[in-house]
């Protein structure tokens, strides 16, 4: 797939996209990335990209002309349909479901805002959907765009070396991931749970599922409510709850 990003801070996007597994996917040509700076599409001597809001009030608003020119330039590069997303705190919350949909598209155009926002008329005419990362305030759309790129590229064929990694991620089965351990087996910070050293694969699978269920119950009851639990899951969760409540009864560790 090809991803284009309209941004006043292209280096922010580049930095994110060039690190780790996403950077490797980029270098291997598993996706194409281009950034377009509206500043390069200004025509006045000040290279203005913002102006004061009509109606008054604090802050500045991104003007349409440089954004339109940047979007047009990005669209013109390849003759494939482009899905345009504006990253905005007013958008719909991003979910893995949405990420999966975006990952299947041939072209994605991500539009990043700065200042108080973008002239509404541009959004009406150039944007297919608005996406938010959640109810907190960022300084602009770039970190959100970087998050979308990361999440979408992970799903491109060949990005992850282990075929299973993507499928086993949190959320794929609607539950949070289980805890992980590696060497050393014993440490001042604690010992690795016995079952993981037992070699009993059925017991290990059950333990991990129980931990996933229990942690989802504790941290994300909203996710758990969306899950259809089979008989084994109900039993494992009941066990986890019983152990958790028993531990709470006997009080926090007093050695
Ligand atoms: C504090 C300014 N706010 C007025 C009450 C409006 C506002 C404008 C622009 C708040 C944030 C931003 C910049 N944010 C984004 O561009 C953004 C964002 C976010 O702030 N939170 C979660 N997801 C996203 S996606 C893009």
**How far apart are the C-alpha atoms of 65 and 82, rounded to whole Å?**
20
pLDDT at 172 (0 to 100): 55
Average pLDDT over the chain, rounded to an integer: 95
Note whether residue 159 is domain-resident. no
pLDDT at 165 (0 to 100): 61
Residue among 6, 138, 142, 148 to mutate when testing ligand 1 (max atoms within 8 A of CB)? 138
**How far apart are the C-alpha atoms of 255 and 245, rounded to whole Å?**
18
SS3 179: coil
| 57 within ligand 1 shell (Cβ under 6 A) | no
**How far apart are the C-alpha atoms of 113 and 70, rounded to whole Å?**
13
Torsion, Cα 151 155 161 166, to 10 degrees, reads: 80
* 134 and 227 housed in the same domain: no
The residue whose CA has the least distance to atom 3 of ligand 1 is 116
* 80 and 22 housed in the same domain: yes
| 134 within ligand 1 shell (Cβ under 6 A) | yes
* 7 and 126 housed in the same domain: yes
Query: Domain count of the chain?
Result: 2
CA 35 to each of CA 1, 24, 46, 119, 136: distance values in angstroms, whole numbers, following the listed order: 15, 18, 21, 21, 25
pLDDT above 60 for 255: no
* 59 and 22 housed in the same domain: yes
CATH assignment at residue 53: 3.40.1280.10
Q: How far is the CA of 137 from the centre of ligand 1 (A)?
A: 5
Tokens encoding 111 = 């539009």
Note whether residue 164 is domain-resident. no
SS3 37: coil
Instruction: State the pLDDT confidence band at 162, using cuts at 50, 70 and 90.
Output: low
| 110 within ligand 1 shell (Cβ under 6 A) | no
Note whether residue 235 is domain-resident. yes
| 7 within ligand 1 shell (Cβ under 6 A) | no
Instruction: State the pLDDT confidence band at 173, using cuts at 50, 70 and 90.
Output: confident
* 20 and 117 housed in the same domain: yes
State the average pLDDT over residues 112-131: 98
CA triplet 167, 15, 86: central angle to 5 degrees? Answer: 70
pLDDT above 90 for 237: yes
* 119 and 6 housed in the same domain: yes
Residue among 89, 149, 151 to mutate when testing ligand 1 (max atoms within 8 A of CB)? 89
pLDDT at 120 (0 to 100): 98
* 202 and 95 housed in the same domain: no
The predicted-structure confidence for 59-97, as pLDDT tens digits, reads as follows 999 999 999 999 999 999 999 999 999 999 999 999 999
Tokens encoding 77 = 């590069």
SS3 167: helix
CATH assignment at residue 241: 1.10.1270.20
State the average pLDDT over residues 123-143: 98
Note whether residue 93 is domain-resident. yes
Instruction: State the pLDDT confidence band at 115, using cuts at 50, 70 and 90.
Output: very high
For 203, the domain range is 171-254
The residue whose CA has the least distance to atom 18 of ligand 1 is 89
* 197 and 115 housed in the same domain: no
Q: Which residues pair with 51 in a beta bridge?
A: 61
Note whether residue 204 is domain-resident. yes
pLDDT at 60 (0 to 100): 98
Instruction: State the pLDDT confidence band at 235, using cuts at 50, 70 and 90.
Output: very high
DSSP one-letter string for 83-106 = EEEEEEEEEEEP-HHHHHHHHT-S
* Residues acting as catalytic residues: 89, 116, 154, 169
Residue 29 contacts residue 151 (beta carbons within 8 Å): no
Q: How far is the CA of 34 from the centre of ligand 1 (A)?
A: 23
* 86 and 17 housed in the same domain: yes
* 113 and 195 housed in the same domain: no
pTM of the model: 0.95
134 Cα nearest atom in ligand 1: 22
CA 243 to each of CA 59, 161, 249: distance values in angstroms, whole numbers, following the listed order: 53, 37, 10
Note whether residue 166 is domain-resident. no
The predicted-structure confidence for 20-69, as pLDDT tens digits, reads as follows 999 999 999 999 999 999 999 999 999 999 999 999 999 999 999 999 99
């Amino acid at each position: 797939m090809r991803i284009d990003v309209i941004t006043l801070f292209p280096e922010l996007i580049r930095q994110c996209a060039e690190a780790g597994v996403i950077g490797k996917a980029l270098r291997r040509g598993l996706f194409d990335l281009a950034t377009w700076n509206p500043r390069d599409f200004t025509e006045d001597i000040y290279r203005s990209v913002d102006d004061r809001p009509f109606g008054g009030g604090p802050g500045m608003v991104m003007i349409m002309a440089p954004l339109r020119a940047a979007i047009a330039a990005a669209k013109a590069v390849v003759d494939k349909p482009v899905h345009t997303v504006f990253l905005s705190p007013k958008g719909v919350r991003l979910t893995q479901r949405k990420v999966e949909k975006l990952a299947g598209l041939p072209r994605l155009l991500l539009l990043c805002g700065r200042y108080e926002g973008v002239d509404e008329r541009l959004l009406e005419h150039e944007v297919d959907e608005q996406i938010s990362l959640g109810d907190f305030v960022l300084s602009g759309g770039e970190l959100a765009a970087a998050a979308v790129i990361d999440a979408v590229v992970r799903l491109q064929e060949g990005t992850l070396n282990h075929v299973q990694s993507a499928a086993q991620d949190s959320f794929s089965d609607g539950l949070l991931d289980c805890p992980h351990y590696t060497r050393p087996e014993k440490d001042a910070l604690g010992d690795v749970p016995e079952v993981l050293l037992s070699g009993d694969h059925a017991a290990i699978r059950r333990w991990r599922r129980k931990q996933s269920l229990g942690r989802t119950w504790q941290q994300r009851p909203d996710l758990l409510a969306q899950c259809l639990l089979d008989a084994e899951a109900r039993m494992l969760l009941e066990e986890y709850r019983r152990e958790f409540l028993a531990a709470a009864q006997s009080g926090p560790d007093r050695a």
